[in-house]
Amino acid sequence: MIVGIGTDIVQVDRIQQTWSRLGERFARRILTPPELDDFDKKKNKVAFLAKRFSAKEAVAKALGTGIAKGVSFQNIAIGHDELGKPLIVLSGAASALADRLGISNQHLSISDEREYVVSFVVFESGS
């Protein structure tokens, strides 16, 4: 059964402006330590930040809270499997909320073009 759906769209230029203004401080606010390791290796840092920002916002919306009520960007990590499929890793308040909702399956799709990134998340309970 579907227990949460979230979507988010980000204008890459807005992320660029924030990155230009705040630099590494912005990256540390959005990214978890493992994500920061990946970020440091990326050539297009703004695109990486935009994708992570959009995905995390979509996850938070699917949880029903948004980035609020104890759920922070640091509680949501985005990784990928060996084929490149995006994966969600929750910790802290986000993980506790997922447990309360009975989330057993998660689906994340991220699409990007030069100007926009869109992310879509579905959380399911049961088998």
Containing 5, the helix (H) or strand (E) segment is strand 2-11
Instruction: Give the type of residue at 80.
Output: H
Show the tokens assigned to 40: 């440091």
- Paired strand residues for 116: 11
Mean pLDDT of the chain: 96
| pLDDT-derived band at 127, boundaries 50, 70, 90 | low
Model confidence at 91: pLDDT above 70: yes
Is residue 104 very low, low, confident or very high in pLDDT (cuts 50, 70, 90)?
very high
Please report the pLDDT score of residue 75 as a whole number: 97
Residue ranges covered by each domain of the chain: 2-125
3-state secondary structure of 70: coil
pLDDT for 68 equals 87
CB 81 within 8 A of CB 107: no
CATH number of 2-125: 3.90.470.20
Confidence check: pLDDT of 69 > 80: yes
Q: Which two tokens stand for residue 13?
A: 């230029």
Residues 6+ apart with CB under 8 A from 116: 9, 10, 11, 12
96's CB contacts (< 8 A; 6+ apart) are none
